Homo-oligomer: A and B are copies of this chain.
């Protein structure tokens, strides 16, 4: 399916607000792709489809989960917000004929992140986090950071997310923690090897 057909189909599936958000994520993801040298077509497909599983109606969402045979972990079962990414990856594969595993993973892990994300996964994650309509304390710093040091931008955004989840009394997905841990380990390693060279 080509981009124009995907857009037509998406408009029918997700609500207008979600579709407009999607276009903003596509725009910012393409700009990040230039900095981090990723194939534009891959980025566009991943960004366009990142929320293709985000049905507003919870009953529709759960019906789709069943339809696509998705096994939910206990955290996702208790926090419906986490379901749409896994569902989205399945829909992207079966309905939009995406076969590129990297694109499918970028969709699947765009909410929680995961250990050792690919650069495409990182771009989709952070583009979703910083799109122009997002507005919270510190967002401008993260927007700037995303173009300078995407790992650091993801660390900060994960830390915001963890604190937000705690204050809301929600469950924390283990992938959120391992994303932050793996990026901090990488940062520590880079700092050590940098100081070794001094």
Contact = CB atoms under 8 A, between A and B. Distances in A.
Q: How large is the interface on A (under 10, 10 to 19, 20 to 34, 35 or more residues)?
A: 10 to 19
Nearest to A180: B172
Contacts of A190: none
Contacts of A172: 162, 177, 180-181
A12 interface: no
A184 B169 contact: yes
Interface string A175-198: 001101100110010000000000
A159 interface: yes
A185 B171 contact: yes
A159 B164 CA distance: 11
A78 interface: yes
Contact of A78 (B169, B177, B188): B188
A35 interface: no
Contacts of A159: 166
A176 to B, nearest CB: 8
A107 to B, nearest CB: 24
23 contacts: A74-B181, A74-B185, A75-B181, A78-B185, A78-B188, A159-B166, A162-B162, A162-B166, A162-B172, A163-B163, A163-B166, A169-B184, A170-B184, A171-B181, A171-B184, A171-B185, A172-B177, A172-B180, A172-B181, A174-B174, A174-B177, A174-B178, A177-B177
Q: What 4 A-B pairs come out closest when comparing CB atoms?
A: A159-B166, A171-B181, A172-B177, A177-B177
